[in-house]
Amino acid sequence: MDKNMPDGVEECIVNPDGVQRYRDLREVERWLDATTTRKRLDASENFSRGHTKLLKTLRIWISNTVEDQVWQSNGLNVDAFDFTPNMEASYRVRIEGRLLDEREHEFSKPETSGVLGVSSTPQQDESSTAVSVECGLKDHKHRFSYFFRALSVDFDRSRFRNGAEQNIEWKKPETTVKGHAPGSLPAIVDFDELTFKRNGDENTNITINLYRHEMPERYQLSPELAEVVDMKDATQQEAVMGLWEYIRFWGLQEDEEKRNFRCDELLKQVVGRGDSGRGVS
Residue type for position 92? R
> Whole-model pTM?
0.56
Say if residue 201 is exposed, middle or buried (CB neighbours under 10 Å; 0-12, 13-18, 19+): middle
Contact 198, 166 (CB under 8 A): yes
- Sequence-distant (6+) residues with CB within 8 A of 245 are 229
For domain 218-281, which architecture applies? Orthogonal Bundle (1.10)
Delimiting residues of CATH 2.60.40 domain(s) in the chain: 53-212
User: How many residues does the structure list for the chain?
Assistant: 281
Return the CATH number of the domain spanning residue range 53-212.
Answer: 2.60.40
Contact 191, 116 (CB under 8 A): yes
Delimiting residues of CATH 1.10.245.10 domain(s) in the chain: 218-281
Average pLDDT over residues 46-69: 78
Average pLDDT over residues 239-259: 84
Kindly report, residue by residue over 59-113, the tens digit of the pLDDT: 999 999 998 887 777 655 556 555 555 668 889 999 999 988 766 554 455 554 4
